[in-house]
Structure 1
Amino acid sequence: MNQAAWVRERERPFVRNAEDWCNQVHQQQNWYLTDFLTPREQYLTTSVAVKNGLVNESFGGYTGCERQRMLLMPDNWYPTAEDFAVDCLQLTAIAGEIAHKDVLGSVLGLGLHRKMVGDIVVDDATAYLFVTHTMGQYIYDHLHQVGRATVSVARPSQIPALPLPNYQPVDISVPSLRLDAVVARACQLSRGKSQETVERGAVTLNFTEASNGDEVQIGDILSVRGFGRIKILEALGTSRRDKLRLRIGVLRSNM
């Protein structure tokens, strides 16, 4: 497999880590459990695992979650949910509402790395927080404040059906896979306006800083300030005018 064809330069350290995980599985003939991975990291890890002849499964705490932990296995060992060591904590504001960014900021303020934290689902004054099992008790003991709200922390005996991100599938045609071209078409902007939006730092690619010259790939998530998210779902080939056809998911923000 030509790594340059599917891996960005900034992603190569992560892919080397994934290669190390696979080597560890082969050497020890035991499975390897990752931290929480973004959708793009899951895609890269799956690609590396398949190349190395391994089986992989993923789970993040509930059906349809975005950030998930992955198990790399020498064969299909049919893991259960417990094998992924994901804890769910229910945060309830004693007064007022809580926001996603406040939950994340408060948890990271306890000294956790982002990779230890999975999805955060907020519904008014309640949030469901998914974390690695090793950090669940620590957060349970030490998290008392989220933003300006005092919160109670509980371990729910049963996780309710949580709302999923409602990405709307949209098919678009673009002259290239350049990020600015995709943003322009998805957000219905001119190419120049799209480039200005990226240049002022209003667009991220897989939760990191983006540039106009970046090329999108399957599994990428673009966040556009004031618009929402764009997920690259599928390549559909080329149009009669030789434009690239993509299926994307659009999740509009509430702004």
Structure 2
Amino acid sequence: MTDPRLSADTTIDSGVPQSARIWNYWLGGTNNFAADRAAGDEVLARIPDIALGARADRAFLQRVVRFLIAEADVRQFLDIGAGLPTENNTHEVAQSLDPACRVVYVDNDPLVLEQAQALLVSTPEGASDYVQADLREPAAILTAAARTLDFSRPVGLMLLGVVNHLMDDGQAQNAVAQLVSAMPAGSYLVLTHSTAEIHGDAMLEVMHETTQRGGTPIRARNPGEIAVFFKTTDLLEPGVVSCSRWRPEDEETDPPTEVYLFGGVGRIQLH
């Protein structure tokens, strides 16, 4: 039987831009290649505030993890499409609040796995594991994650900026539905997705050009299409919104600037 850790492509092609490495570049990281930086710069030239979305998505992750631990009693996280390590990674935020938290990271980029194994070290009381697999392989992901996570207890299912790489609606909805159906009651679906709500045609053109150039395929969905992924959950307030506006922590200031990544959090009930 094939180890799910090895079910995705294990080669690193430094000449083809990859979304996790472009994202790392926008966040100020160094785990990227010239092709990633060139692709990232092309997008920045068209949409100068694109990196603001990357930072807002990371801030959203931190707020959600804190909420799940403090208010929902979640101590396990399955972070799919985790991307390259930067600051405030899921296990760091979670284990800063409860050192016993357990986290499994999943990505299909072999460089992510290589860097994660070297840099993302768990607390002694908790655990972190790293699986190389693709979102299109939910059964393989769940099998590998079960080595670290207890699926009889609530899990925070984190799908941040990854479902937008599944171009087909049916395939995307099926992958998310399979993962959600495997989560125990009291778990939460946390999902963000690229949209064209802020930048309009410029965003759609950049996505099309990135895909045509051979980079990681990517598409936009509108808030209604994103809400479909939460259809079997109890979607928490304020619903599907720009991730910068999901329960911002400083409510005495003006609403945060909207970014192109929209998302939400849904509580998973008994199936």
TM bracket (short chain): under 0.3
TM-score normalised according to structure 1 size: 0.26
Structure with a larger share of its residues in strand: 1
Task: Kindly indicate whether structure 1 or structure 2 has the higher relative contact order, using CA contacts under 8 Å at least 6 residues apart.
Answer: 2
